[in-house]
Structure 1
């Protein structure tokens, strides 16, 4: 009989299965496992596409899946331990993380740098938050791509390792489902391929699970050979049953993905995550209006190129008032981090406006509105883009990095529409706009009914209110400077005298509060536009071009602009007839507070000195940085193996130095057995020392394990207790035996044995049987 064939049964028609055929069948089965896992993981890769809006999400997730699959297949082929697979996964993460997830930090988009390694280690936990808090598309930022890359790498390693090496093979479906779930939860509500993803995943999972289960049962019953007719009939029945299951699963998946779950019902984590931006850190820009208007009146704050004629350049939109200052209401603000693109598709009718910062400084970035993107240039471009926040509802830009002069950038902006009053007369005010908190002072609440006359329409009523301020108010000038601020006491003072004297800050705030008192939404906007209309393509905007106005939302037209401030040439010194008496409020006004001092310009000396100090403190030589990264990375890679070596050394010292002298000698044989186990030779359990030694002598004949075992038995079972010198002499022989065992192996195997955890993880912890 051929030794490579299985014995045939006595019945006619049976088949003979050779070992070669079984090996080829096993290889085909493993190939099917790999292909099935890649198909299932591919559905998770597709889920990362919409949130990045370009190929970067597919590259990061798909590259991670392929890298993880390579590690798992190589580990299964070479029979690596868990620690070996983990070390290979860590190495792949560091080496391939740069080109796949952080290409901007590499050399030529391929070679990792110390910055690449440093950012990869930090982003392993930080990128999960970043991907949820940045605005779509995430490809505008450096860092969020680590999430699909790391998820694909780890899930692929787990899925293919379980499919190729675990007996409970169905556990391999769990990591593939996790990758798909991460792609959904960390994605967006927009998922065009959701139905196809669900159908492919369900069909592939059911098909592979059914085929793998049948294969496992066939292997378990391999000793029973069935005749061809029975085998063919059973296969036909299994195929028909599998086809029916696939049809039902596909129909259910398509129905669930395409019809039952809409984009509005799709749940993603970013819906519940609030960006970590504390608006209380940033003072309201309206508090600096008087400084722009008077102290920087002739200074060029901004240089703007391409601003459409009649348009206004926004700085900040303010919708909350607490009696002291108008600011961005924290409850209504939805600031999100953005990059160079805001949204996936640029808004219709958008135009590019170039902005150069001159004497302006602050955290509120000029150029807000309905934006499609912000493109910074210059040495601080990366830091400004990485820290830029945008509120789409109010069109306000903010950067914690701030602009201090010299920065340049382009904004893609949609010019504000200017509907006529006839069109607005057929429109109505949108009352469901935000829930900003506003406290209307008593002085304004009591006089609103006299200022706001009834009109034929809502726009007519608002225009009359606007005209009332323009006609009865005066603008403060150099000779008659009114108090600054817009707190409730200053607004009360505005209406208490015989004349209203103020500037944009007081008039715009007062009208907005009166509109709120009437029950309509209103907000205050600070921005820039030239006093006289011009068609010049390049504008130098000074502090004199800073203005504050009011906006009220209409259902069709959106936010409509109102300018309640009187003409600037209408000052108290102008020879005009005495205006009508301003109606007095119905409540007794509080005492007039002392005038607040004019806000001085921000002193940037400390900032520059701090920056210089920080630069000096961080000026570490590049060679030292590279050496630190290399040493840190090497230490991280070898730390698991160093921990194993330390645990073995601790176990060896405990066996050699603790317990009775006879136990310490017996502990030497335990050390020999564990050394053999790490070298790949397992001695039979529950045998005597000399029986174990004879088994080891078959693999290590030149090391002399039998002689060492006999001497140990003589000490342990001899007359009296062995002395400490006997223990030391016996352990010297144990060391010589272990060295001889290691020398008989290949150097690579000796190195693997030194860091192998087999003896530490083994359940055998008893000392040798005497």
Structure 2
């Protein structure tokens, strides 16, 4: 049979290529939960076809590996703009700097971003590159294997299975970057299994030398086997799928296992800095907001965990389903759970004096557009859908502006909620709550039994019995800042309940928690005199805090426990009368330090000093790895470095000895020490020639017997004999000749010492070479004796060998 022309593809090869391409497309289909819309599918299909085409061109023109990779990358960038980022390409096809940058960034950084994005993903702009680059890479590698590698090998099941690696990787990748809800798991699994198994069975080949009748029988058996495989795959996947497929809670999904990079515990609690707005920024213009209605509030942050010092935003370790988590998002925001909304807003905010990472929003944003000039900060945007808390990790400054669409929680009357239970929402636990909180909560609820009734009673009692004071100089009665356990206890145990939104909201939330209701504290701004359609200036005086409690099928209902401004009555309790006491000499009075007169305000553990320390704190798992790996490494390296330094010092001392005969004798002594450290037996007595003969024999025997040293030929063993003989005779000559040996001759002896030591080391096994690094031997006394003998007897023994 004549050979096929160069670059020709057989029909069987085309079928192989078609099968693995279809399997790859089934794998790309599994990206649906991560991307939502169908645009990803076109992008992934395009990537598979582009990679396959590049592999075919490599086969057609017989390109080498380097040219194939270079050409595939070039095609990747040329066609990727139209397939992966058409919205940023010129005329939807021609690459631009934006698309080229996105294709490069998406291939490298997109994989890290997608596992922290809230599904379905919509940003960053290069995220759509992922299905394209995955399909392109699998298509390229699979095409090269099918067209160039497979024809040179027998079509055994093992070799054919290699072609399935790429499609299987794509299939698993769709599962890992997906969500807990499986996407057409049974259908995709049945299709993938049937196509792969049938192809493996038919592609194995047929008996070419069989008769026509035998071939018909073989084909009939194949058809029957194919039907059996198909039916078995359907039955196993369909009937046993419910038992084999894990529940959504137990599915392994990367986005559920990887902690988002933003940790709110790295920043001070917003509520801890409440007084900064009323005292320092009271008249400062913080924000300019357009699109508000009269009842709208600007939300800054939601705090749902309490540790006895302050309410804070739950960190990754304490986050629950009710507190949510911060995810990297784009313009499209994920849907908020429990939200019940029939109205929406389009809000524009311009930042004036406000600064920080907490991005002010209204309601529950659904779409948010950040400016791209002078700097694109979309990569810094994080959003918590459960709390509607938005973060810009790079922070906002004066002049920053942005626009967003938002849904607003519907308002419900108490009558509509009287038979509605609170929602089953799990929030982080609260700790170190004063006992008086639960006692006052039980007292305030009175005879109310319904959740809304009990919560409204607590709200009413706080508003009626409490007095508002921001702790300003103009306030009739001072009010201490903070909302730690001591401050909350003070709020309820003093004759009057005096505080501001910070204390009353914190106390109300703790009282609700004591009754078993999931409550959280929200901080934000409530501007007054809002005219619909007109921009509103928000100042520090507009700062406020309120409490939200979720109700089943309704959403988070807000409560305002802060009392209205009213005159605070003076304390009428008479001072106790003083009774005369006998005069006793008192010790000197200690003057009160100025700082003792100040009220301690707990802001956050993460103050400036602690924050700097925490910023460099390593994760626990990394610390464990460093201990496990670091301690053995230190125990290995420290002795190794010390012994290596001692050996280096020994070698330097010998090589830089004062006389030539001492340097020559030092070369011989260095050789004996090295052989001893390698585990060779150096006889205690004997001439240098005798020792050289004995050591060369040991090297020869070791190289012959060591089964692990297959690359130690006899020539090396023979050469070590010549090296040792030359070294021994050269050292004898330099020591006993009675004249100083030339420096060139001494250098030759040291070179022979190094060469013989290298051959001796190569003859032993790896383990003995490692042990030699921890051994140190010294024959300095031999050198010294040789030097002394030289000074006394060299002239009498000139021309004689060592006896």
TM-score by length of 1: 0.65
Alignment-derived partner of residue 595 in structure 1: 599
Matched, 1:38 2:25: no
Maintained 8 Å contact 2:122/2:329: no
Maintained 8 Å contact 2:285/2:540: yes
1:35 positional shift: 1.4
1:199 positional shift: 2.8
2:463 partner SS: helix
Q: What is the alpha-carbon distance in structure 2 between the residues aligned to residue 335 and residue 355 of structure 1?
A: 23
Residues 205 and 345 from structure 1, CA distance in 2 versus in 1: closer, same or farther, beyond 3 angstroms? farther
Greater shift in the superposed pair: 33-42 or 294-303: 294-303
Matched, 1:320 2:289: no
Alignment-derived partner of residue 372 in structure 1: 366
Describe the superposition over 1:409-463 as per-residue Cα deviations: whole angstroms up to 9, x where unpaired: 3333222222222233212334642224433135645655545534243332222
Alignment-derived partner of residue 283 in structure 1: 268
1:567 positional shift: 0.6
Q: Which of 1 and 2 has greater Rg?
A: 2
2:361 partner SS: coil
Alignment-derived partner of residue 723 in structure 1: none
Q: What is the alpha-carbon distance in structure 2 between the residues aligned to residue 174 and residue 505 of structure 1?
A: 59
Q: What is the alpha-carbon distance in structure 2 between the residues aligned to residue 87 and residue 390 of structure 1?
A: 40
Alignment-derived partner of residue 571 in structure 1: 567
1:473 positional shift: 1.6
2:140 partner SS: helix
Aligned mate of 1:63, from 30, 46, 50: 46
Q: What is the alpha-carbon distance in structure 2 between the residues aligned to residue 472 and residue 339 of structure 1?
A: 46
Matched, 1:519 2:502: no
Residues 545 and 353 from structure 1, CA distance in 2 versus in 1: closer, same or farther, beyond 3 angstroms? farther
Alignment-derived partner of residue 11 in structure 2: 28
1:205 positional shift: 1.2
Aligned mate of 1:187, from 174, 178, 183: 178
TM-score by length of 2: 0.63
Alignment-derived partner of residue 404 in structure 1: 397
1:55 positional shift: 4.1
Alignment-derived partner of residue 504 in structure 1: 501
Q: What is the alpha-carbon distance in structure 2 between the residues aligned to residue 597 and residue 272 of structure 1?
A: 37
Describe the superposition over 1:218-253 as per-residue Cα deviations: whole angstroms up to 9, x where unpaired: 4xxx4x3x4434433433343343244334434544
Q: What is the alpha-carbon distance in structure 2 between the residues aligned to residue 312 and residue 257 of structure 1?
A: 49
Alignment-derived partner of residue 229 in structure 2: 245
Matched, 1:557 2:557: no
State how 1:22-171 maps to structure 2 within 5 Å: 27-101=10-84, 110=93, 112=95, 123-164=106-147, 165-166=149-150, 167=153, 168-171=159-162
Maintained 8 Å contact 2:299/2:362: yes
1:340 partner SS: coil
Maintained 8 Å contact 1:329/1:437: no
Structure 2 alignment gaps of length 5 or more: 154-158, 575-594, 604-803
2:204 partner SS: helix
Maintained 8 Å contact 1:194/1:258: no
Alignment-derived partner of residue 764 in structure 1: none
Maintained 8 Å contact 2:32/2:183: no
Residues 310 and 27 from structure 1, CA distance in 2 versus in 1: closer, same or farther, beyond 3 angstroms? same
1:521 partner SS: coil
State how 1:248-397 maps to structure 2 within 5 Å: 248-253=232-237, 261=245, 264=248, 266-330=251-315, 331-332=318-319, 333=323, 334-343=325-334, 349=342, 351-359=344-352, 360-367=354-361, 369-377=363-371, 379=373, 382-383=376-377, 385-397=378-390
Q: What is the alpha-carbon distance in structure 2 between the residues aligned to residue 143 and residue 345 of structure 1?
A: 25
1:324 partner SS: coil
Residues 272 and 420 from structure 1, CA distance in 2 versus in 1: closer, same or farther, beyond 3 angstroms? same
Residues 195 and 410 from structure 1, CA distance in 2 versus in 1: closer, same or farther, beyond 3 angstroms? farther
Maintained 8 Å contact 1:136/1:344: no
Q: Report the number of matched residues.
A: 561
Q: What is the alpha-carbon distance in structure 2 between the residues aligned to residue 323 and residue 390 of structure 1?
A: 27
Alignment-derived partner of residue 486 in structure 1: 483
2:562 partner SS: coil
Structure 1 alignment gaps of length 5 or more: 5-17, 582-590, 600-770
2:127 partner SS: coil
1:471 positional shift: 1.5
Matched, 1:210 2:195: no
Matched, 1:200 2:191: yes
Maintained 8 Å contact 2:110/2:130: yes
1:122 positional shift: 5.4
Matched, 1:424 2:417: yes
Q: What is the alpha-carbon distance in structure 2 between the residues aligned to residue 185 and residue 258 of structure 1?
A: 20
